[in-house]
Chains A and B, each alone.
Chain A
Amino acid sequence: MKLQIKYDIHLACKVILQEHLDRLGVPYEITGIGDVEIKGPLAPGQYTELQLSLNKYGIEILDNPAIAIVNKIKDVITEMVYLEEPLPTSKISAYISDKMKMSNGHISRLFSEVTFSSIQSYIILQRIERAKQLIIENKLNLTEVAWKLNYSSVAHLSNQFKKTTGLTPTIFQRIIERRKMLVLTSDNV
């Protein structure tokens, strides 16, 4: 039996957070995506306990505020790359600063201070990651992938793919196929 499942990641994370915060018995408020305000002191063991129990779900408490903000920028970009209706390039910075409620300059500076690369190059990296996934799924041909990700042409996508990975989409696809075969054969030994 095969089930199709749709889920809301933000809601799922929020519920997990609530369940674990409730267990602390300290008043708190979830003030936004990825922001929690604990209204009271935590016992020494409680912080570590919370950290450990959340780690299981891939949820991390970030100690460094700059890293925390950059991780939020990352989430906004990921969400944007996965939007079905792609944004025109001119609107991207406005979209990010609107979601972050911070100025563009501040966002760009923080991002490059922490990651040593620009937001623009990160967006390219993420679009190529998405292209890779679509190529691996093998349901769309390259023209359709280019169209879905709002590239002006297949050549544009192929060039950016080659620039980002050093490989052509075709060779990339062949490598992933061969990797899968290798795993299959070594599992059967």
Chain B
Amino acid sequence: MENESLYILLADDDEDDRLFFKEALEEIKVRTNVAFVNDGIQLMNYLNRPGNRLPNVVFLDLNMPIKGGMECLTEIRKNSRLKDLAIVIYSTSASDEDIEEAFVNGANIYLKKPNDFSLLKSCLSQVVNINWQYHILGLKKENFLLSINK
């Protein structure tokens, strides 16, 4: 049943980061399906192709070549078909300005990339759990903002 797992898509050009992400998710209680794209163009192509299953949550790295995370975020929020996706900005930088800018442009979560694996696991578990709750209980995401900067 579609309801029983959370479909997560990560857009990140760094291979190591993708691998850590996948391994961290495997240890979380909520059942997840993960797919990856390497850059913003691949991401938008995937999301815009009609028959593709839309993810529940998209993680966007801010610094990707050609098309960065912020540009993708703006495009996603302008598209009525994609408007309801939960968007997590997933970035090594986390200045107050970056965080505020991302939220103003429509991000739901800002997660600073943790630099050790156990922290990554606990942060991802927090993000996945809250998204699962919003998903399974059908909560409105209009004012859903969460900043994790550890």
Contact = CB atoms under 8 A, between A and B. Distances in A.
A and B interact physically: yes
B69 to A, nearest CB: 17
Given A116-B29, A166-B149, A182-B105, A136 B143 contact: yes
Interface residues of A, number: 30
Contact of B132 (A63, A115, A186): A115
Interface in B100-150: 100, 103-106, 110, 129-130, 132-133, 136-139, 143, 145-149
A67 B143 contact: no
A67 B3 contact: yes
Contact of B146 (A136, A165, A174, A176): A165
A129 B143 contact: yes
A166 B147 contact: yes
A116 B30 contact: yes
A155 B136 CA distance: 32
B1 interface: yes
A21 interface: no
A17 to B, nearest CB: 18
Interface in B3-37: 3, 29-30
Contacts of A67: 3, 136
Is chain B's interface secondary structure helix, strand, loop, or mixed overall?
mixed
Interface string A114-153: 1111000010010001001100100000000000000000
B100 to A, nearest CB: 6
B136 A70 contact: yes
A20 interface: no
A71 B29 CA distance: 20
A172 B133 CA distance: 21
Given A116-B132, A117-B129, A167 B137 contact: no
Interface of A: 60, 63-64, 67, 70-71, 74, 114-117, 122, 125, 129, 132-133, 136, 164-167, 171-172, 174-176, 178-179, 182, 186
